[in-house]
Structure 1
Amino acid sequence: MKKIVLAIALACFALAATAAPETYSIDPSHSAVRFGYDHLGWTFQQHRFDQFSGKLTLDRAARTASIDVTIDANSINTGSALFNGQLKEARFFDAANHPSISFKADQAKFDGDKLVSITGDLNIKGISKPVTLKLNSFVAGPHPIQKKRDGIGANAVAKVNRSDFGMDFQVPLVADEVALAFTVQAFKDR
């Protein structure tokens, strides 16, 4: 009997140690995709995209993670309909020909159990460049309000040069360097 109990305990321990990856879907009502840049040396302009979706896969035991996010380029929101239209033009996002922006990453770096960065490809206007998102915060576990649901909360930042994506209009008058900021809340898929 002791051998059976010991065998079951060891089997359970082995299963726990090799936990399967868990997939999470981004909750757009509690997430944000923003970007900012220096404008003429006078102000730091900040804008956002209102429509995006994505999945995150996390394997805490193996310390691996991946992200697959799609952003609707036509959902750009600067607070000005005129400026939204200008940024959708070919000299910027070219949203008519490239309606989606994507970020796909699977090169994760952990500090203990905490995800600290993830590297992958950012695709804008059909041009892909490697980008590393640095996480300022990362939490995974039972959601504090929806206690029966596991979730992920994270804030990540990166910097890119817009000219790398064919958007060099008015550089250097308007900064080439763009700060990206992602606030993500995601829930485990059932």
Structure 2
Amino acid sequence: MKTSIKFLSAAALAASFSIPAFAAPETFTVDNTHTFPRFSYNHLGFSTQLSRFNKTTGKVVFDREAKTGSVDIVIDMKSVDTGFNLFDEHIQGADYLDTARYPTATFKSTRVSFDGDKPATIEGNLTIKGVTKPVVLTVTSFQAKPHPMLKKDAIGANAYTIVKRSDFNAGKNAPAVSDEVRIDIALEAVKE
């Protein structure tokens, strides 16, 4: 009987070493020097204009083993950069971004879907001018690896979605200036 108990104990101990450890979710802080949401729209049928926001903060949680994640982003709408100071001020007015009343926009994920080891789509709620709408971000690239300069784990991604300005009470001059706006985000984040 003692031999059986010793054998079972040894077998249980050996089995515990052979079970792979599950990675815990890791939290990454957005690198605001390499994270820029951009937006593009058709201007009067002449061209597609491209502008960006210069200040973004947030957190990303990523669990490679469980294939789960979450994204929580805050965009400083007053940091809009069209390349022309006068237009930056104009677009911050009440007819468009209304940054006096709504200085930030947010994106909070509700679901991340994976294709293999990488996120493929991120569903979530986008809030602009106090209006919240569900959107789906399509991830076009994703990388998780040690940062060569910071010597910490990091992630990077590119993703996009398409929204209508009018859905967020910012539809002035549509359709001459397209109601449809493509939002692209280039994101890098470093492990806490």
- Please confirm whether the aligned pair reaches a TM-score higher than 0.5, indicating the same fold: yes
Q: Which residue in the other structure is 1:180 paired with?
A: 183
Structure 1 position 135 matched with structure 2 position 155: no
- The SS at the match of 2:78 is helix
Distance 1:145 1:134 in 2: 28
Match 1:6 to one of 5, 14, 28? 14
Cα deviation code 1:167-190 (max 9, x no counterpart): 11000000000010100111111x
Which residue identity lines up with residue 111 of structure 1 in the other structure?
A: D
Q: Which residue in the other structure is 2:83 paired with?
A: 79
* 1:144 positional shift: 3.6
How many pairs were matched up?
A: 184
Match 1:120 to one of 100, 124, 145? 124
Distance 1:174 1:4 in 2: 68
Q: Which residue in the other structure is 2:44 paired with?
A: 40
RMSD of aligned Cα (Å): 1.5
- The SS at the match of 1:119 is strand
Distance 1:84 1:111 in 2: 38
Match 1:151 to one of 147, 154, 160? 154
Say whether the 8 Å CA contact 1:65–1:106 is kept in structure 2: no
Distance 1:114 1:22 in 2: 15
Distance 2:115 2:12 in 1: 37
* 1:8 positional shift: 4.1
Which residue identity lines up with residue 166 of structure 2 in the other structure?
A: S
Cα deviation code 1:89-133 (max 9, x no counterpart): 111111000011000003111011111110100000000000111
* 1:2 positional shift: 5.0
Say whether the 8 Å CA contact 2:35–2:56 is kept in structure 1: no
Tell me the TM-score normalized by structure 1. Answer: 0.92
Percentage of matched positions with identical amino acids? 43
Structure 1 position 59 matched with structure 2 position 36: no
* 1:4 positional shift: 6.7
Distance 1:100 1:136 in 2: 25
* 1:31 positional shift: 1.8
Distance 1:125 1:176 in 2: 16
Say whether the 8 Å CA contact 2:156–2:189 is kept in structure 1: yes
Distance 1:97 1:29 in 2: 26
Cα deviation code 1:46-71 (max 9, x no counterpart): 00111110100011111111100001
Distance 1:131 1:161 in 2: 11
The structure having more radius of gyration, on CA atoms, is 2
- Which 5+ residue runs of structure 1 have no aligned equivalent? none
- Which 5+ residue runs of structure 2 have no aligned equivalent? 1-8
Large movers: runs of 4+ above 3 Å: 1-5
